Each structure stands twice: as structure tokens, then as C-alpha cells.
């Protein structure tokens, strides 16, 4: 069953009500987490992960006040962006990015959150230089939290979600910051599958602090998804990436 048919003929009104209720629930979770952490409720940006869901859902979320959306596959995201170009949204790319897709992603993305290796930095820099409009692409360096936490042995092959080894992150951050057309905004990570998210996010927060010594403006910490946003906010996340808690369970990506 496709995402389109899942949200299709029941009528936009019903889907709008569904999304409004889910959005309210997520906003309440964020507000409660901020309150427990002694942080202002507006210190965490909600990024709606709309991968697999149709442009009509993006439109409904925009009407409900969502300003930031994220996608993980260029071939799906480019057309969806174009169908929603009138909405004034900020588009984030959060998926594994091949170098040969850098130009395509740079066309519509405001922020690439999944930069995890040097050749990709160079490719995105070159892509931005091909643009007529002079704007910087916001970049987050993605950190692999599966490594460096003492649980490497538990990582099953093929389970990698991308990300640079923690030791490589400061050097990658330097490289992004010195590449024309790119602006280093901070770090992103996905919690490891098998480990305690709180411990992993604490390691991420320490690494972010270290990066900010040399790059004080790189204040974005993108961590937390539907299942672990509370732990991420407690650890200092400034933005959370929420898919299923907003839009429902996705059909499998592969």
C-alpha cells in the first residue's frame, strides 16, 4: 500500500484533524520535556519528517504552523519540495547522501543534517557555488553514536545509519566551516538501536560542546525522534526530528 493511498480518499478534513491532534500531542511532549529540563518551551525546534508521506500532508502540516520539514531521499524530496514551493517552508535533508546527489539536494535543501565525510563536504560546497542566488547551505555534521560508546561489538552489519566517528567530527566541522557556500550550524545524531539513548545523547552533547569551542556559532543540536525525544531534550537538543508520532507508521522504506 502506498503512502498516497493510506492518506487518500478518506478526505483531507479527516487527515487534517488527525495531524492536528498528533501535532498537539508532540508539542505537549516537547513542552513537558523542556519544563523538566528547566528550558524555555521555544528552545526546541520541531522538524516534521515527512518521508514516504504525500505533499498533501506537508501542506496540511504547514497550515497547522509547522515551518520545518525533513526528507531522507532526494528522488522523493525534490518533487515534493516543488509541489510545496509556495508554502515558505524550510527543508532539511536527513538521509544518507551520495556525492552525485549533492547538486540535486542543494537545489532545494536549506539544511543538510547528514554530512559525515570529507568528499561530501567538497561536493556540497561545489554544488552551492553553481547556484546563482548567493546563499549558504546550513550543514550539520552527523555523528555515529554506535561507535565510541563501548558497544561496538553489538553493531550488526548493515545496521549503520551513517555518521562520522566521534573522533573525526571536530576535523569535519573545521572543514565545513572553511568551505565557501557552507555554514556549520551544529551536529546531528540518531540514537543507537541497542543502547540507552540518554547515555548516547550525553556523549553527543559533550562532543557538541567541544565543537563549539572552535565554532561558537554552531549551536544546533539535532537529536531525538518519535521514541526518544524526551531523552534528547533532557540532553540539550535544540531540534527534534519527528516522523511517525506526527504522521503515523510509515510503510517500510525498502
Ligand X SMILES: *Cc1c(COP(=O)(O)O)cnc(C)c1O
* Residues near ligand X, by CB under 6 A: 49, 51, 72, 94, 190, 225-227, 241-245
Range list of β-strands (E), 88-134: 90-93, 111-115
Angle at 100 between CA 88 and CA 164, to 5 degrees: 85
Nearer to ligand X, 69 or 181 (CB): 69
Cα distances from 201 to residues 143, 160, 221, 222, in angstroms, run 11, 17, 10, 10
Q: What's the closest the beta carbon of residue 117 comes to ligand X, in angstroms?
A: 16
Nearer to ligand X, 73 or 212 (CB): 73
Nearer to ligand X, 141 or 181 (CB): 141
Nearer to ligand X, 30 or 49 (CB): 49
Alpha-carbon span 97 to 80, nearest angstrom: 17
Q: What's the closest the beta carbon of residue 39 comes to ligand X, in angstroms?
A: 21
Q: What's the closest the beta carbon of residue 49 comes to ligand X, in angstroms?
A: 4
- Closest-by-Cβ residue to ligand X is 243
Among 67, 72, 204, which residue's Cα sits nearest to residue 148? 204
Alpha-carbon span 128 to 102, nearest angstrom: 9
Q: Cell 540532553, residue?
A: 235
Alpha-carbon span 200 to 192, nearest angstrom: 7
Contact 114, 89 (CB under 8 A): no
Q: What's the closest the beta carbon of residue 57 comes to ligand X, in angstroms?
A: 13
Q: What's the closest the beta carbon of residue 225 comes to ligand X, in angstroms?
A: 4
Nearer to ligand X, 135 or 193 (CB): 193
Alpha-carbon span 92 to 245, nearest angstrom: 18
Nearer to ligand X, 216 or 252 (CB): 252
Q: What's the closest the beta carbon of residue 86 comes to ligand X, in angstroms?
A: 25
Which grid coordinates belong to 202?
550525553
Amino acid at each position: 500500500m502506498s503512502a498516497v493511498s493510506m492518506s487518500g480518499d478518506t478526505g483531507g478534513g479527516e487527515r487534517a484533524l488527525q495531524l492536528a491532534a498528533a501535532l498537539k500531542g508532540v508539542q505537549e511532549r516537547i513542552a513537558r520535556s523542556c519544563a523538566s529540563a528547566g528550558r524555555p518551551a521555544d528552545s526546541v525546534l520541531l522538524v516534521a519528517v515527512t518521508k514516504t508521506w504525500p505533499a498533501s500532508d506537508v501542506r496540511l502540516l504547514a497550515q497547522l504552523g509547522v515551518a520545518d520539514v525533513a526528507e531522507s531521499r532526494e528522488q522523493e524530496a525534490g518533487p515534493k519540495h516543488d509541489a510545496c514551493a509556495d508554502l515558505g517552508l524550510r527543508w532539511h535533508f536527513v538521509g544518507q547522501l551520495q556525492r552525485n546527489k549533492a547538486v540535486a539536494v542543494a537545489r532545494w535543501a536549506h539544511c543538510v543534517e547528514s554530512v559525515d565525510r570529507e568528499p561530501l563536504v567538497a561536493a556540497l560546497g561545489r554544488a552551492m557555488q553553481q547556484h546563482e542566488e548567493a546563499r549558504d547551505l546550513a550543514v550539520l555534521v552527523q555523528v555515529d553514536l554506535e561507535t565510541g560508546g563501548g558497544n561496538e561489538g553489538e553493531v550488526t552489519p548493515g545496521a549503520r545509519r551513517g555518521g562520522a566517528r566521534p573522533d573525526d567530527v571536530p576535523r569535519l566541522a573545521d572543514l565545513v566551516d572553511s568551505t565557501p557556500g557552507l555554514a556549520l550550524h551544529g551536529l546531528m545524531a540518531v540514537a543507537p538501536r541497542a543502547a540507552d539513548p540518554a547515555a548516547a545523547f550525553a556523549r553527543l552533547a559533550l562532543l557538541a560542546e567541544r565543537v563549539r569551542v572552535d565554532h561558537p556559532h554552531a549551536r544546533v543540536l539535532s537529536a531525538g525522534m518519535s521514541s526518544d525525544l524526551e531523552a534528547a531534550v533532557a540532553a540539550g537538543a535544540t531540534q527534534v526530528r519527528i516522523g511517525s508520532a506526527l504522521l503515523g507508521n510509515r510503510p517500510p522504506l525498502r
